[in-house]
């Protein structure tokens, strides 16, 4: 029987082609959900929310999801800690462990996790037509949070509670922007890895990925990757080269080599794995990959090494299916992926374009603004062209101040190998009351985690400083 099941299952999964993603989205690590923790009481609830906070003529509402843990709440006068949700589904883990959880325990706080509109189960509309997505923007999402806090404070047990926000990644932006826009509603906030500058041509991302591989893996690793990518681009020029490229990268079918958007997508396949590894790297991780390049674990030639690395990291069982049409299809479903792409077209850009010089990725010239804009145009509306994108980012930077927000009582944390840190303020305090902590060799949102044995001494210090400062805001 066992053999029968195996025989049935294996060919089935092998017959599936895989449509890869091509960029790494912002998202804090979710390790806590898999961690064995003592079961604690996290409860899910819902609140009725206006669809449009800024138009009194519109009385439509939707249900916003949130979770809470009141196990440690001291009662009247004790604080409320809100973990701000971003472009993902909320989950119980962050109310059962992590840096905010420990702060809440220390200060006898009530803990809440709010879900961002249009993500998870918080759906003003279930059909994500471009028309229906017009209420998806950070202005509405911040107003949701303001409305939520006002409703919460109506309960007598929270009337005297101070509110602290914590958020990572895009939700880190939300923390800084909320404190700036609604300073009367919260006493302070912790923003982890917040890329507060909207940027369309974001070549800085891959520059940090390059720097991380250089500083962790050294010149030899960089030479291998450079050669592998240059050989890949050269291979596109001949029929024999193309066949060896398709084999090295495990492609299901030849690429459309005449279509620059398909080549943009293929370029994204290459950068995406290096990006993903860097954005989530625990100390030692990148060194390990460079060792694998050196000892031919992924393949023999430089091009085979790159293709093998991507397949191994992704756990690919079959082959990559790479047409631009299939990429667009992945953005046509009513899910988080489509909602976030919409926000990048209409607010942030964050397009991880190939730099033109100085990095291992320079040869991947098809990964440019035109490529990302084409996805915006086809997935949403022909009007979403390059000029539209640049205007959108300009609007966000005007509204919130770009790299110069005017905000008191926030803590702004970054890691030097997190590719997103270059869109945040990482080299100065925002203000005397809003310090910045930048942690060497740390990646995206790592301060949000539990205290780990793999933490560097600098990371431990930053977590301690954060907790001390939050305790001080609460005692003032
Ligand atoms: C969403 O709306 C569009 C346009 O009105 C319609 O064509 C489509 O069938 C709808 N999709 C779903 C899943 O309801
Ligand atoms: C920040 O705090 C300082 C000192 O209390 C105050 O003068 C300033 O107006 C505050 N700024 C904002 C934006 O709240």
Per-residue model confidence as pLDDT tens digits over 438-461: 999 888 888 998 877 778 899 999
The average confidence (pLDDT) of the chain is 91
Q: Six-digit token pair at 447?
A: 């301060």
Check: CATH 3.90.1150.10 for 30-198+403-475? no
Inter-CA distances, 251 with 152, 242, 299, 315, Å: 53, 11, 16, 14
Give the span between the Cα atoms of 79 and 149, in whole angstroms: 12
- Ligand with an atom nearest the CA of residue 184: 2
Using one digit for the tens of pLDDT, what is the confidence trace for 135-155? 999 999 999 999 999 999 999
Who lines ligand 2 at CB under 6 A?
183, 406, 408, 433
Q: How many CA atoms are closer than 13 Å to the CA of 464, on its beta-carbon side?
A: 8
Q: Six-digit token pair at 149?
A: 């806090």
Using one digit for the tens of pLDDT, what is the confidence trace for 249-289? 999 999 999 999 999 999 999 999 999 899 888 778 999 99
Nearest-atom index, ligand 2, CA of 407: 13
Nearest partner of 192 among 171, 178, 177, judged by Cα:
171
| 200-316+339-368+381-394: CATH architecture | Up-down Bundle (1.20)
The best mutation among 408, 429, 432, 434 to test binding of ligand 2, ranked by most ligand atoms within 8 Å of the C-beta, falls on 408
Q: Give the single-character DSSP code of 25.
A: P
CB 339 within 8 A of CB 348: no
CB 407 within 8 A of CB 433: no
Instruction: State what percent of residues in the chain have pLDDT above 70.
Output: 92
pLDDT of residue 280: 84
Q: Please provide residue 439's backbone torsions phi and psi, each rounded to the nearest 5 degrees.
A: -100, 120
Does the beta carbon of 59 sit less than 6 angstroms from any atom of ligand 1?
no
* Secondary structure (DSSP) of 49-78: EES-TT-TT---EEEEEEEEE-TT---TT-
Task: Enter the pTM of the model.
Answer: 0.91
Confidence of residue 5 (pLDDT cuts 50, 70, 90): very low
Domain boundaries, the chain: 30-198+403-475, 200-316+339-368+381-394
pLDDT of residue 41: 87
Using one digit for the tens of pLDDT, what is the confidence trace for 163-195? 999 999 999 999 999 999 999 999 999 999 999
pLDDT of residue 19: 63
- CA of 226 from ligand 2 middle (Å) equals 49
């Amino acid at each position: 029987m066992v053999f029968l099941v195996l025989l049935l299952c294996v060919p089935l999964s092998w017959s599936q082609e895989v449509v890869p993603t091509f960029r790494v989205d912002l998202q804090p690590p979710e390790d806590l959900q898999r961690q064995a923790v003592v079961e604690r009481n996290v409860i899910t609830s819902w609140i009725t929310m206006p669809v449009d906070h800024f138009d009194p003529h519109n009385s439509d509402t939707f249900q916003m999801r949130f979770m809470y843990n009141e196990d440690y709440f001291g009662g009247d006068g004790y604080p409320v800690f809100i973990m701000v949700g971003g472009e993902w589904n909320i989950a119980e883990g962050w109310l059962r462990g992590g840096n905010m959880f420990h702060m809440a325990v220390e200060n006898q706080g009530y803990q809440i996790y709010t879900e961002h509109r249009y993500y998870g189960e918080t759906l003003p509309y279930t059909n994500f037509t471009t028309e229906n997505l017009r209420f998806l923007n950070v202005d509405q999402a911040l107003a949701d949070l303001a409305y939520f806090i006002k409703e919460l404070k109506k309960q007598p047990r929270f009337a005297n509670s101070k509110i602290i926000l914590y958020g990572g990644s895009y939700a880190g932006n939300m923390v800084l922007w909320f404190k700036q826009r609604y300073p009367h509603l919260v006493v302070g906030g912790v923003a982890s890895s917040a890329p507060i500058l909207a940027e369309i041509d974001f070549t800085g991302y891959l520059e940090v990925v390059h720097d991380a591989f250089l500083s962790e893996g050294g010149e030899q690793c960089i030479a291998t990757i450079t050669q592998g990518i240059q050989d890949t681009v050269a291979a596109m020029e001949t029929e024999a080269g193309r066949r060896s490229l398709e084999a090295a990268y495990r492609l299901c079918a030849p690429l459309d080599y005449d279509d620059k958007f398909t080549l943009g997508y293929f370029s994204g396949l290459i950068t995406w794995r290096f990006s993903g590894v860097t954005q989530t790297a625990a100390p030692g991780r990148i060194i390990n990959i460079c060792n694998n390049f050196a000892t031919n674990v992924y393949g023999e030639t430089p091009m085979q090494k790159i293709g093998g690395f991507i397949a191994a990291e992704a756990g690919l069982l079959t082959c990559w299916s790479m047409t631009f049409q299939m990429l667009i299809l992945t953005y046509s479903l009513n899910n988080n992926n489509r909602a976030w792409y919409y926000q990048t077209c209409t607010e942030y850009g964050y397009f991880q374009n190939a730099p033109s010089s100085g990095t291992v990725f320079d040869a991947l010239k098809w990964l440019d603004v035109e490529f990302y804009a084409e996805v915006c145009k086809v997935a949403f509306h022909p009007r979403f062209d390059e000029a539209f994108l640049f205007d959108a980012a300009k609007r966000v930077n005007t509204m919130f101040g770009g790299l110069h927000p005017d905000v008191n009582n926030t803590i702004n944390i970054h890691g030097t190998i997190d590719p997103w840190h270059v869109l945040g303020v990482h080299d100065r305090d925002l203000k005397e009351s809003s310090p910045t902590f930048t942690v060497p060799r740390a990646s995206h949102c790592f301060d949000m985690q539990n205290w780990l044995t793999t933490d560097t001494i600098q990371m431990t210090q930053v977590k301690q400083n954060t907790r001390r400062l939050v305790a001080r805001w609460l005692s003032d």
